[in-house]
Amino acid sequence: MFKMTSNNPIDPQIVELDDLHEHREIVTFMRRSSPLNTSQRTALEQHQNFILSYPVGDLRQYFEKPEQPLTVEIGFGMGRSLVQMASANPERNFVGIEVHVPGIAQCVYEAGIANLNNLKVLDADAIHVLKAMPDHSINCIQLYFPDPWQKKRHFKRRFVAHERMALVEEKLEMGGTFHSATDWEPYAEWMLDVLDNRPNLENLAGRGNSYPRPDWRPLTKFERRGIEAGHVINDFIFKKIN
Ligand SMILES: C[S@@+](CC[C@H](N)C(=O)[O-])C[C@H]1O[C@@H](n2cnc3c(N)ncnc32)[C@H](O)[C@@H]1O
């Protein structure tokens, strides 16, 4: 995990974040600065209607039909699969949370073309957004191909962890679902070990199993990369039962 300590992009001084005493909060992402292309820059200006400004509070208030079930996607990347899901499910509301600004721009660009009224996105740490939501207010939380944080000293940054799952459970409605997918088998084993040991969650594929890949989950960019690298895809769908 790295942090730029210089504003000069040509000669960045890079230090290990984990070595900084002041960096106390453990985050599950790494902010990458990449330039926006022209359509992304234009989309950010023209499609402000899709973008929520942090802090947001109860996400349901921003929709024309706030009573519709709410899906929250954590880390949507470039957002194409989120736009496809929102287009295919007008009877639900969708909020995508991402810290990668070109991804947010690309997502609102595509949401504008699809003329959606059931999708909002925001640039924030999903943990902070979830904490501000009322309990039992989200019908589905989805986490597709989260950063696998492969080094042992970075395992604490993996999103699927007992402390973060306690927050997810608190915010899910009774009967609501947590859906994750990964192409990194050690993380799949890790996820199963955490999720199968959450008393408030039921594995819809049966204890110890991954869920057959649902055909209603669109292919994501990182999933395609994983498949091209020969990786096996594992989906997990857990229902909140307590
Ligand atoms: C490996 S990418 C996968 C992107 C996309 N889901 C896909 O499958 O193509 C993981 C993404 O999650 C985002 N992310 C990780 N932790 C996050 C958090 N706490 N809040 C918001 N976004 C987060 C990262 O910025 C990154 O873009």
> Ligand 1, from 28, 82, 219: best to mutate by most atoms within 8 Å of Cβ?
28
Confidence check: pLDDT of 198 > 70:
yes
The DSSP symbol for 152 reads G
**Structural domains of the chain sorted by starting position, each given as residue range(s) with its CATH number in brackets:** 38-240 (3.40.50.150)
Active centre residues (catalytic) = 147
* 89-125 tens-digit pLDDT: 999 999 999 999 999 999 999 999 999 999 999 999 9
Confidence check: pLDDT of 20 > 90:
no
**Cα(232)–Cα(184) distance, rounded to whole angstroms?**
7
What residues have CB less than 8 Å from 1, skipping those under 6 apart?
A: 16, 17, 18, 30, 154, 157
When pLDDT is cut at 50, 70 and 90, the band that residue 32 belongs to is: confident
Give the global pTM: 0.92
Backbone conformation region of residue 230, classed left if phi is above 0, alpha if psi is from -120 to 50, else beta: left
When pLDDT is cut at 50, 70 and 90, the band that residue 12 belongs to is: very low
C-alpha 59 – ligand 1 centre gap (Å): 19
* 163-189 tens-digit pLDDT: 999 999 999 999 999 999 999 999 999
The predicted pLDDT at position 23 comes to 56
Using a 10 angstrom Cβ sphere, with 0-12 exposed, 13-18 middle and 19 or more buried, the burial of residue 130 is buried
Nearest-CA residue for ligand 1 atom 11 is 75
Contact 65, 161 (CB under 8 A): no
Q: Which of these ranges, 25-34, 131-140, 172-181, has the smallest mean pLDDT?
A: 25-34
What residues have CB less than 8 Å from 220, skipping those under 6 apart?
A: 77, 80, 81, 144, 145
**Cα(163)–Cα(23) distance, rounded to whole angstroms?**
19
